[in-house]
Amino acid sequence: MIPYILEWGSLLLRWLHVVSAMAWIGASFFFMHLDASLRSTKDIPAGQGGSSWQVHGGGFYEMRKYLVAPEFMPEELTWHKWQAYTTWLSGFVLLAWIYYAQSHLYLINPDVMQLNAWQASALGVGALGLGWVIYDQLCKSPLGKNENVLGLVGLVAIVAASFGFTQVFSGRGALIHTGALMATWMAGNVFLIIIPNQRKVVASLMAGETPDPALGKQAKQRSTHNNYLTLPVVLLMLANHYPVLYANSAVIPPIVFLITISGSLIRHFYNVRHSDHAKSPWWTWAAAAVALWFTFWVAMASSPTGREQLGLSAAASVPAKESHVPAPAKVIEIVTSRCSMCHAAEPVWEGIQIAPKAVFLDTPANIARQADAINLQAVLSRAMPPNNITAMTDDERTAIAIWVKNSK
Ligand code: HEC
């Protein structure tokens, strides 16, 4: 019963999480675009804001921005904050639901560190909190005055954090915690900097004072960080559904580095293009493509069989093609003894009640049908069995490789 509840809970939480993230990211993209498209007008001189005309849903909008604040407070003011809060809160509960409540399956790899569920969860939550404090202090330090230097230091911090996570968690746990850390920076920026600053501005306007321009500047800096973090964070959140990306913990830091670079570059393209079409930095697409190509390469080169396929090491001696498509008894025995306790109509592994991803590896016919998936997960990437929980040997993986090759 409990695995079913966990599965349904995760579905509903993910639904909420994805929808609120769409709203938050949509708003972030919209306002970055709006800022870039603002032009000074007669009544709003350059440097003090601007206006922009837009058409949407059957009407025309005249958007006006007042840097720092308008002269008077409107009676009604729409705040954009719940998209961010809901995304973070639902994301945190989802993280706890999957990685803390089912830590033995997803978060803990005893070969990396012998942790119990409480220790692993405390490490995860503690790292997210500490990560926010470090980031916030970096932004407030003299480094924060130079955007480029700060960006570089931030990148190093992200990669270092991912390395730290690989020293305590499973590959998948390390990847999701790196994404969660960046997402915590983003939500923290909204909750602890942007909204409080805006409240101070409103309060001083109400009191008839001139608000401090530094408040708006700081908020803009943090919202720009959020904008650049968006694409890398989304890819990291998706990456934990792709075992090929987290199969080998040693290459997670370079993978995180490359993903962060490529996502930020694509964001940069749009930020520049929206302010001036003529200056569209097309090179960012080429650079992002190169970074993604390297990501693929690094992930593949991290497994012995992947290296062979890339021609980086000599191919293992695979016998010449034979014409038997059905799995030989040996392969059936290997897959049955290493995989089918989870991947069966009635899994016997504790905590698994339905075959993960509906992948059934319990009969010779099912095993033959899944040959490519078995090859990808157990041979090319070695992502399965998770954390090699059922102790599959290298010889067994080679036997599968030979079988797959022969059955083509
Ligand atoms: C301890 C349980 C367990 C064992 C043993 C296990 N798996 Fe899995 N497998 C999982 C889980 C959990 C997932 C889902 C991962 C996810 O949510 O992304 C999965 C996913 C998969 C997928 C789908 C991957 C995808 O993202 O599409 C394949 C294919 C797979 N396993 C093959 C295997 C093979 C082959 C073996 C044996 C060598 C194996 N598994 C052993 C638990 C197990």
Q: How far is the CA of 405 from the centre of ligand 1 (A)?
A: 21
167 and 284 inside one domain: yes
Q: What is the mean pLDDT of residues 329-337?
A: 92
List C-alpha distances in Å: 143 to 60, 130, 151, 215.
42, 19, 10, 18
Tell which of 264, 286, 301 closes a domain: 301
Ligand 1 binding pocket includes 377 (Cβ within 6 Å): yes
Q: Considering only CA atoms, which of 189, 173, 186 is closest in space to residue 232?
A: 186
Both 337 and 196 in one domain: the answer is no
* CB 349 less than 6 A from any atom of ligand 1: yes
> Tens of pLDDT along 174-192?
999 999 999 999 999 999 9
Segment 212-254, tens digit of pLDDT: 889 988 998 998 899 999 999 999 999 988 888 888 889 999 9
Encoded tokens for 117: 């569920």
Q: Could you tell me if residue 104 is inside a domain?
A: yes
Claim to verify: residue 291 and residue 202 sit in the same structural domain: yes
- pLDDT at residue 315, as a whole number: 62
**Which residue minimizes the CA distance to atom 16 of ligand 1?**
241
* 404 token code pair: 């797959």
284 in Cβ contact with 266 (< 8 Å): yes
Are 258 and 357 in a shared domain? no
Distances (CA, A) of 319 to 377, 398, 405: 22, 11, 9
165 and 213 both lie in a single domain: yes
Higher pLDDT, 353 or 151: 151
> Could you tell me the distance, in angstroms and rounded to a whole number, from the CA of residue 262 to the centre of ligand 1?
28
C-alpha–C-alpha distance, residues 334 and 399, integer Å: 9
What does the alpha-carbon distance between residue 150 and residue 171 come to, in Å, rounded to a whole number? 28
Whether residue 389 has its Cβ less than 6 Å from ligand 1: yes
- pTM to 2 decimals? 0.83
Instruction: Please tell me whether residues 360 and 232 are part of one structural domain.
Output: no
Residue 119 CB less than 6 A away from ligand 1: no
For residue range 289-306, what is the model confidence (pLDDT) as tens digits?
999 999 999 988 887 777
Domain membership of residue 376 as a residue range: 329-406
Q: Is residue 380 in contact with ligand 1, taking CB distance under 6 Å?
A: no
Alpha helices in 207-348 (DSSP H): 213-239, 243-246, 252-275, 283-301, 304-309, 329-338
- Do 293 and 341 lie in one domain? The reply is no
Same domain for 204 and 243, yes or no, is: yes
Instruction: Say if residue 99 is in the same domain as residue 136.
Output: yes
Ligand 1 within 6 A of CB of 343:
yes
Q: Is 339 in the pocket of ligand 1 (CB under 6 A)?
A: yes
Cα 230 to ligand 1 centre (Å): 29
Instruction: Decide if 211 contacts 48 (C-beta within 8 A).
Output: no
Is residue 317 assigned to a domain? no
Closest ligand 1 atom, residue 385 Cα: 41
283 and 173 inside one domain: yes
d(CA 131, CA 165): 12
Regarding whether 233 and 139 lie in a shared domain, the answer is yes
**Do residue 286 and residue 340 come from a single domain?**
no
Mean predicted confidence (pLDDT) in 279-287: 93
pLDDT digits (tens, 9 = 90+) for 82-99: 999 999 999 999 999 999
Q: Has residue 320 got a pLDDT over 70?
A: no
Query: Above 50 in pLDDT, residue 324?
Result: no
Asked if pLDDT for residue 358 goes beyond 90, the answer is no
Task: Kindly tell me if the per-residue pLDDT of 265 is higher than 60.
Answer: yes
In 3D space, the residue among 16, 9, 65, 67 whose CA is nearest the CA of residue 37 turns out to be 65
